Amino acid sequence: MARIGERPPGSGRVLTPKLPPHAPGMAIGLYGGSFNPPHAAHRLVSRLALKRLELDRLWQLVTPGNPLKDNAALPALGERMAAAARLSAHPRVEVAGIEAAIGVRRSHDLVAHLVERCPGVGFVWIMGADNLATLHRWGRWRELAELVPIAVIDRPGATFAATNAPAAQTLARFRIDEADAGRLAWAAPPAWCFLHGLRSPLSSTALRGAGRAD
């Protein structure tokens, strides 16, 4: 039997992956990353986003490999997904490997697929402030911002760099007040919000160096 993302024998068609539960009218956060390893800050970001953005669900989207990083030593996707699922431990958080299933590496391509597949769903792309600081290096980042609203979660040491980065400056006029974060999922993109209140110093890079995940 062919697996998700593989071509069935004798067929030229790629199987369509089954998405986590969703329905029109639902607000869903999309939180992508390598999760190498998943750690407490990932859990805190997920729960803060659920509350502050008034989300019905949050999908942790584990990437097969960040195009901007060296992935030579990256653990297997299934291993990272299982670890993320154990750590998240929340009934409204789903862990998925949709990028690998549909054969894409860019966040834009993943989000474009989801928007097309899920009409009527209010998606929000969720990222840390450190990622906003480098967003201008992502492939088709402007088009990503035109597909879905973006929620940026503050990170220690990244606030100034993020809010003064090229992407933040380009999108400055589309920033909504943090007090209105609960309506972000239904704001017409481009729209983004910077959320304070989570200042965890944890990072996957630091934890890999220390040899621990939490």
The CATH number of whichever domain residue 93 belongs to comes to 3.40.50.620
Report phi then psi at 162, rounded to 5.
-70, -50
31 part of a folded domain: yes
Q: Which whole number is the average pLDDT over 44-63?
A: 96
Looking at residue 116, its amino acid is E
97 part of a folded domain: yes
Q: Enumerate residues 6+ apart whose C-beta is below 8 A from 191.
A: 149, 150, 174, 175, 176, 184
Nearest to 162 by CA among 126, 131, 141, 199: 131
Grouping H, G, I as helix, E, B as strand and the rest as coil, residue 127 is strand
85 part of a folded domain: yes
Amino acid 198: pLDDT: 64
Q: Enumerate residues 6+ apart whose C-beta is below 8 A from 90.
A: 43, 46, 47, 50
**77-103 per-residue burial string, b: 16 or more CB within 10 A, e: under 16:** beebbebbbebbeeeebbbbbbbbbbe
Please tell me the total count of domains within the chain: 1
**Contact (Cβ atoms closer than 8 angstroms) between residue 155 and residue 124:** no
116 part of a folded domain: yes
Nearest to 59 by CA among 192, 185, 175: 185
**Contact (Cβ atoms closer than 8 angstroms) between residue 195 and residue 178:** yes
Q: Which whole number is the average pLDDT over 39-57?
A: 94
In this structure, of 18-32, 118-132, 200-214, the range with the lowest mean pLDDT score is 200-214
CA separation for the pair 88, 64 (Å, rounded): 19
45 part of a folded domain: yes
79 part of a folded domain: yes
Amino acid 213: pLDDT: 44
12 part of a folded domain: no
81 part of a folded domain: yes
Note down the domain range covering 122. Answer: 27-201
